[in-house]
Amino acid sequence: MAKTAREIALEVIHRVHKTGSYANLLLPKKLRESDLDRRDKAFTTELTYGTLRAKGTLDWIIQQFSKQKPDKIPDLVLDLTRMSVYQIMYMDVPDHASVNEAVLIAKKNFHPGISKFVNGLLRTIAREKDNLPWPDKEKDPARYISLKYFHPPWIVKMWIEEFGIEQTEALCEADNRPPKLVIRVNTLKITPEKLTDELKEAGWQVEPGMYMPEALVAKDAGDITRVPQFKEGQFYAQDESSMIIAHVVDPQPGETILDVAAAPGGKTTHMAQLMHNKGQILSVDVNPNRVNLLKQNIQRMGATIAQAIKADATKLKSVVKKPVDRILC
């Protein structure tokens, strides 16, 4: 039997928490293998990433109403509960649908006592969601903003010192909105104008980015990995804030660049195109699985001057044999 959108989201969330898997690698694979339509894939994506981002806040909410502390709830049950609370609190999903679907999954995977626990807890949270005992904003603004908008406390404290309480809250709220899909045109292979025309012919809505000439904002794109332009390395999914970094490094043709913690390769392949594939880029990452992904992206994007290297960035004497012109760390 084909898995539902929520079952796929739960599987990915649980594997990320249990094994340290990368959601951005695991989820697209699961979606490609599924029978979900475009709308359900978008729902699964928002649910998965949202639940992972909001983990600390979701656990705090669960703790307010559960007789069992989160660390005493079985792992898979806790992830199911987190996922359902995220729908109740942050998604445009009817509360009864969030509860009922969670109970169905619980009945399918656990004994009756678990489904009763999930049902009771979620119904209570849905009923009381507007009365949560958030920390006092006046007395402890950093904790209030950190919990409500699920941002790390150290970032919130730093932003409050820099921008003030109200602007920090607005910033965190904006930061949680689903981002637009931005792609970086690989100018080693195609121009932004030509790629725009091709993608529009394929049914995409495409418009120029805000800052980078090689950036395009795509709408109604569906699974971008299925289009031939992606497979041929004509573009890379990358936010403009990430694209800016390669321009700050400003690598010049013929130079030797060291890219530390380089996987999955967005900035490495971007620097290669800015260098017109002339020079050398040493792209280092310590994780073997991420190095494999780095190699795949280097090959797909045609970044022939880039070399993917598995190494510890604190021990590079055996890797870097000659002086380098610039380092991206």
Tell me: do 15 and 107 sit in the same domain.
Answer: yes
Tell me: do 116 and 70 sit in the same domain.
Answer: yes
74 within domain boundaries: yes
Tell me: do 204 and 299 sit in the same domain.
Answer: no
57 within domain boundaries: yes
Domain-ending residue, one of 96, 131, 166 = 131
Tell me: do 123 and 185 sit in the same domain.
Answer: no
Residue 214, pLDDT score = 97
Residue 243, pLDDT score = 97
Distances, alpha carbon 71 to alpha carbons 133, 191, 276, in Å: 21, 52, 52
Closest by CA to 281, choosing from 313, 260, 306, is: 306
Would you call 206 helix, strand, or coil by DSSP?
A: strand
Give the separation between CA 329 and CA 325, rounded to whole angstroms.
Answer: 13
186-240-254 Cα angle (round to 5): 50
Domain that holds residue 226: 181-237
Tell me: do 231 and 318 sit in the same domain.
Answer: no
Domain-ending residue, one of 101, 131, 161 = 131
Give the separation between CA 125 and CA 111, rounded to whole angstroms.
Answer: 22
CATH code at 296?
3.40.50.150
CATH code at 223?
3.30.70.1170
63 within domain boundaries: yes
In sequence order, what are the beta bridge partners of 206? 218
CATH code at 62?
1.10.940.10
Mind listing the pLDDT tens digit of every residue in the chain (329 residues)?
689 999 999 999 999 999 988 888 889 889 989 999 888 998 999 999 999 999 999 999 999 999 888 889 999 999 999 999 999 999 999 999 999 999 999 999 999 999 999 999 999 999 999 999 999 999 999 999 999 999 999 999 999 999 999 999 999 999 988 788 999 999 999 999 999 999 999 888 999 999 999 999 998 777 788 889 999 999 999 999 999 999 999 999 999 999 999 999 999 999 999 999 999 999 999 999 889 999 999 999 999 999 999 999 888 888 888 899 999 99
Tell me: do 42 and 159 sit in the same domain.
Answer: no
What is the four-CA torsion angle of 283, 284, 285, 291, rounded to 10 degrees?
Answer: 50
Residue matched to tokens 């795949």: 296
42 within domain boundaries: yes
* Amino acid at site 133: P
- How far apart are the two ends of the chain, measured CA to CA in Å? 46
244 within domain boundaries: no
Which residues, in sequence order, are CB contacts of 103 under 8 Å at separation 6+? 115, 118, 119, 122
79 within domain boundaries: yes
Give the separation between CA 99 and CA 82, rounded to whole angstroms.
Answer: 12
Tell me: do 273 and 212 sit in the same domain.
Answer: no
242 within domain boundaries: no
* Amino acid at site 304: T
Would you call 308 helix, strand, or coil by DSSP?
A: strand
CB-based contact 126:138 (threshold 8 Å): no
List pLDDT tens digits, range 275-328: 999 999 999 999 998 899 999 999 999 999 999 999 998 888 888 888 999 999
Residue 32, pLDDT score = 87
Residue 124, pLDDT score = 97
136 within domain boundaries: no
Phi, psi of 287 (to 5 degrees): -90, 120
Q: How far is CA 23 from the centre of its chain?
A: 7
Give the separation between CA 284 and CA 1, rounded to whole angstroms.
Answer: 42
Closest by CA to 266, choosing from 240, 232, 305, is: 240
Tell me: do 186 and 122 sit in the same domain.
Answer: no
Residue 139, class by beta-carbon neighbours within 10 Å (0-12 exposed, 13-18 middle, 19+ buried)?
exposed
Give the separation between CA 89 and CA 95, rounded to whole angstroms.
Answer: 9
Number of domains in the chain: 4
CB-based contact 61:133 (threshold 8 Å): no
Q: Output the furthest CA–CA distance in the chain (Å, rounded).
A: 66
CB-based contact 203:220 (threshold 8 Å): yes
Tell me: do 125 and 150 sit in the same domain.
Answer: no
CB-based contact 219:181 (threshold 8 Å): yes
Average of per-residue pLDDT values in the chain:
94
Tell me: do 66 and 159 sit in the same domain.
Answer: no
Residue 224, pLDDT score = 82
Give the separation between CA 4 and CA 37, rounded to whole angstroms.
Answer: 11
Give the strands of the sheet with 280-285, arranged side by side.
306-310, 280-285, 256-260, 326-328
